[in-house]
């Protein structure tokens, strides 16, 4: 297990669980960011070789990068403290996860029932954004506060535009870009901390 002797205030140690957990979080952000960007292209009706090529390129970056990080950490073993930490956060995490999916499903069903399909990206985007707020506290990752706020503000801003392609591009694009950006920030923070032999600062 990795040990550090840093005394940086308001920081968390570079434990195996934290490093692997952050890398997995970045991977999830990269994957779902790609899904939202494809939604922006298809529902915005801007499917072109150029747009698809760009998405594929950035997908390779924001999915390949965390995958490489996870692979590089595979030799590290979990300590008893790591397992205790997961036990402490697992219930709140799965509760938040379940609420998010149930809320998204319920919103989509209700909106389909009232035939407001055009609101589905905004509702699901807002729910997913809000779900990041408790995650920030559960995993002590302040970056998730920014992620959630940008998501919610982005999908709300899309309502300025009339129903149609532009609204879909703005809503889905805000979701996708915020997730990709989150993945990049997490991995860059860890790169910097790891190279300097410091703990991970609790700042976004």
SS3 14: coil
Please tell me the predicted confidence (pLDDT) of residue 14: 64
Residue 5: the pLDDT is: 34
Nearest to 63 by CA among 204, 200, 194, 184: 184
Check residue 78 and give its pLDDT. 80
Residue 148 banded pLDDT, cuts 50, 70, 90: very high
pLDDT tens sequence across 112-137: 999 999 999 999 999 999 999 999 99
- Reported as a pLDDT band with limits 50, 70 and 90, residue 41 is very high
Distance CA 153, CA 58 (A): 23
Write down the pLDDT at residue 195: 72
This prediction's pTM: 0.85
Contact 20/76 with Cβ under 8 angstroms? yes
pLDDT computed for residue 33 by the predictor = 97
Q: DSSP class of residue 139?
A: T
For residue 141, pLDDT beyond 80: yes
* Residues 97, 174: Cα–Cα separation, whole Å: 21
Average pLDDT over residues 3-16: 48
Q: What's the burial of 3, exposed, middle or buried (CB within 10 Å: 0-12/13-18/19+)?
A: exposed
Q: Please give the backbone phi and psi of residue 17, each rounded to the nearest 5 degrees, phi first.
A: -60, -40
pLDDT of residue 75: 85
Q: What pLDDT is stored for residue 123 in this prediction?
A: 96
Q: Which residue has the higher pLDDT, 16 or 179?
A: 179
Does residue 167 carry a pLDDT above 90? yes
pLDDT tier at 142, thresholds 50, 70, 90: very high
Q: 169, 172, 184: which is closest to 30 by C-alpha?
A: 184
Say whether pLDDT at 31 is over 60. Answer: yes
Give the whole-angstrom CA distance, residue 146 versus residue 133: 9
pLDDT digits (tens, 9 = 90+) for 84-103: 888 888 999 999 999 999 99
CA 133/CA 143 separation, integer angstroms: 10
Distance between CA atoms of residues 38 and 44, nearest Å? 9
d(CA 71, CA 63): 12
Per-residue pLDDT tens over the stretch 52-66: 999 999 999 999 999
Q: What is the mean pLDDT of the chain?
A: 88
Question: At 161, is the secondary structure helix, strand, or coil?
Answer: coil
């Amino acid at each position: 297990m990795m040990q550090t002797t840093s005394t940086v205030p308001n920081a968390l140690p570079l434990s195996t669980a934290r490093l692997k957990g952050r890398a997995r979080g970045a991977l999830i952000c990269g994957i779902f960011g790609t899904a939202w960007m494809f939604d922006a292209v298809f529902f915005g009706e801007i499917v072109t070789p150029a747009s698809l090529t760009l998405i594929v390129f950035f997908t390779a970056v924001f999915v390949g990068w965390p995958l490489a990080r996870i692979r590089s950490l595979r030799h590290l073993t979990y300590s008893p403290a790591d397992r205790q930490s997961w036990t402490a956060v697992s219930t709140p995490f799965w509760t938040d996860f379940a609420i998010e999916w149930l809320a998204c499903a319920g919103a989509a069903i209700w909106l389909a029932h009232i035939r407001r399909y055009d609101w589905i990206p905004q509702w699901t985007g807002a729910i997913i954004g809000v779900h990041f707020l408790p995650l920030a506290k559960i995993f002590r990752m302040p970056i998730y506060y920014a992620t959630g706020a940008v998501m919610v503000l982005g999908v709300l801003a899309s309502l300025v535009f009339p129903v149609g392609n532009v609204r879909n591009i703005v809503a889905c694009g805000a979701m996708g870009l915020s997730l990709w950006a989150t993945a990049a920030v997490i991995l860059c923070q860890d790169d910097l901390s790891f190279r300097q032999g410091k703990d991970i600062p609790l700042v976004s």
